[in-house]
Amino acid sequence: MDLSVKIGKMTLQNPILTASGTFGYGPEFRDFLDLDRIGGFCTKGISIEPRGGNPAPRIVETASGMLNSIGLENCGSKAFLEKVMPQIRNVKSAIIVNFYAGTEEDFIKLAEILSTDKRIDALEMNLSCPNVKKGGSAFGSNPELIERLTKAVKNVTDKTLIVKLSPNVTDITATAAAAESGGADSVSLINTLIGTAIDREKRTFILGNKIGGLSGPAIKPVALKMVWQTAKAVKIPVIGIGGISNLEDVLDFLIVGAKAVQIGAWNFINPSIAAECADGLEKYLRQRGETLNELTGSIKE
Ligand SMILES: Cc1cc2nc3c(=O)[nH]c(=O)nc-3n(C[C@H](O)[C@H](O)[C@H](O)COP(=O)(O)O)c2cc1C
């Protein structure tokens, strides 16, 4: 059965991806699932230089979700290309490298650096991290900046470019439209919603960074609504993210118009979930005698 999806120049063998920051760099999950069975995976956000991230504690469990303030800890672009890529370059699924910088110049420089590796299928530009002081959400809430930066990055890369959007804005369709007019091949949404948690005995914040990003099943209704609205507002493919924990959630995002989905926090609960959803989607469509194309965007308004 054909479950393939085209996003820019990249062809995914199926629409199930894993979300950045919840799947390591890929190899860490090899004991739990066959990387060749999923559509692809997004790496932890890569910066030019290595980053240590935020002070601990960096994770708190919440009702039906979690808050994180990792602060984009990563090995840096050099170690990623030299040490990590050799471990994953033979997988059949798509390798999507999520990347982050604190300035426009560094976003462009980093896109150039990552574009030197032919095996990387796509770059996912994180304009939406709530856990870092420089860049992050500041970029992600300004449509003019998004359009300019997308255009500049497109100019230096021939990779499929996905712009990852923040839900912490008044109107996500405006930021999606800005990415589209800047030349993005796709937008992915949503990143985490900003929140906090306190220790009422100590009267302190639990997270070392005080605030963090909320993810997991708690955010699914918010994400689903934003993906539905965005899929109607732009012509480029929308990748749906937010609170997906089973096949039913995957179906919901596809029905409202997502061309592919990413599974995030649930990888921590069930590290095989992405492969299970890929198998489950095929079975579901086969049983119904429906194609992926017929399912996608089939919501009745
Ligand atoms: C621990 C953790 C780390 C994350 N790191 C990144 C990151 O480096 N870059 C990024 O774009 N998103 C990052 N995210 C956001 C996820 O990719 C995803 O957009 C978000 O968690 C919502 O999906 P979910 O509810 O399925 O987790 C991170 C999320 C978590 C939970």
Residue 293: strand, helix, or coil: helix
Question: Is ligand 1 within 6 A of the CB of residue 18?
Answer: no
Q: Which domains does the chain have, with CATH numbers?
A: 5-295 (3.20.20.70)
> Rounded to 10 degrees, what is the CA torsion of 6, 192, 22, 5?
-10
- The pLDDT mean for the chain works out to 96
**Based on the number of CB atoms within 10 Å of its own CB, is 114 exposed (0-12), middle (13-18) or buried (19 or more)?**
buried
Q: Measured in angstroms, how far is the CA atom of residue 191 from the centroid of ligand 1?
A: 6
Choose among 197, 276, 190: nearest CA to 227: 190
- Whether residue 128 is predicted with pLDDT greater than 80 in this model: the reply is no
Question: Is ligand 1 within 6 A of the CB of residue 17?
Answer: no
CA distance 37 to 29: 12
Question: What pLDDT digit, counting tens, does each position of 90-115 carry?
Answer: 999 999 999 999 889 999 999 999 99
CA distance 73 to 84: 15
Residue 130 banded pLDDT, cuts 50, 70, 90: low
- Whether residue 133 is predicted with pLDDT greater than 90 in this model: the reply is no
Residue 57: strand, helix, or coil: coil
Give yes or no for a contact between 260 and 94, defined as CB atoms under 8 angstroms apart: no
Say how far residue 165 (Cα) sits from the centre of its chain. Answer: 9
Catalytic site includes residue 129: yes
**Which amino acid is it at 208?**
G
Question: Is ligand 1 within 6 A of the CB of residue 22?
Answer: yes
